[in-house]
Amino acid sequence: AAARKGVDDSFYDEIQQVLIETDMGYEVAEEVLKMLRREVGARGADDTAEACDLLVEVIGRTLSSPVKTLVPDVSSPNKPVVILMTGVNGSGKTTVCGKLAKRYRLLGLKVLIVASDTFRAAAIDQLKIWAERAEVDFQGAKEGADPSSVVYDGLSRAKSEGHDIVIIDTAGRLQNKVNLMNELGKIRRTVDKQIEPDAIQSLLVIDSTTGQNAITQAEVFGEVAKLDGIILTKLDGTARGGIVLAIKQRMGLPVLEVGVGETINDLVPFDAAEYSRSLLG
């Protein structure tokens, strides 16, 4: 933001461009500008540096949420806890499964990764390598096996072997493919039949380069997979991932984790204040 300069129309125009270029979209940018004008008025901010700080506050507040990624309570008999990883093709699901698995293992938890993507070339091989890197148990499958049966088998195994947490990787799918969304719905129902509702966390993995289509993704995936939160990946690139602000505004769905690279340690819990600073930086 510019140095000591008046908070005038040209400032708001500049901010509008900055906001839209983060991918939050025209409408949400307008809403943010409205909130900013109100704050500027209320606080009597008279220079752009102060207005920019207020903007960071406004966005940080909008994004903040008490929801966190599930951590199993090892003293609870309610085992296992299940994390369901969903999202469109190439968003980063398989990689996130590996990253999360290692984090849970380091907490001393017994982790099982379930490979329900039985369709894409070398998908099971890829996830198996991540399970080996994370040093956790792996429930593989035959290519072409029914995803829901793989999930069913994985959950039965987890219950009998006493795993604390099961991470289910699913195949990438576009939300306008009815048969693939039905398949995901069936996977969710398979989990529901075996696991208590508050022991399930269903996550949508969104690539931070994604534009307005991520809103539709969140809506449609939400209908079949009952989403609890978002994992925003590839934030180590040039994209800002601002679409998550639109999703939070429209649907209340929070970001829980951020992917910041391709190695197993590159996953950090979402920090709304830090993210909104970097959004405008």
- What residues make contact with Mg ion under the rule CB under 5 A? 93-94
Nearer to ligand GTP, 97 or 166 (CB): 97
Whole-number Cα distances in Å, 164 to 76, 105, 156: 10, 10, 13
Q: Which does 266 bind (CB under 5 to 8 A by kind): another protein, Mg ion, ligand GTP, none?
A: ligand GTP
> Applying CB under 6 A, which residues contact ligand GTP?
87, 89-95, 117, 120, 123, 171-172, 174, 205, 233-234, 236-237, 259-262, 266
Which amino acid belongs to residue 146?
A: D
Which long-range CB contacts under 8 A does 68-71 form with residues at least 24 apart?
A: 68/256, 68/269, 69/100, 69/201, 69/203, 69/229, 69/256, 69/257, 69/269, 70/165, 70/199, 70/201, 71/104, 71/107
CB of 272 to ligand GTP, least distance (A): 18
Closest distance of CB 152 from Mg ion, Å: 20
Q: Which of residues 179-198 bind another protein (CB under 8 A)?
A: none
For residues 213 and 174, the answer to whether their CB atoms sit within 8 Å is: no
Tokens of 266: 């590159």
The nearer residue to ligand GTP, 39 or 169, going by C-beta atoms, is 169
Residue 85 vs 200, nearer CB to another protein: 85
Distance CA 268, CA 236 (A): 12
What residue is closest to ligand GTP based on CB?
Answer: 172
Binding mask 124-153 for another protein (x = CB under 8 A): -xx-xxx--x--------------------
Residue 207 interacting with another protein (CB under 8 A): yes
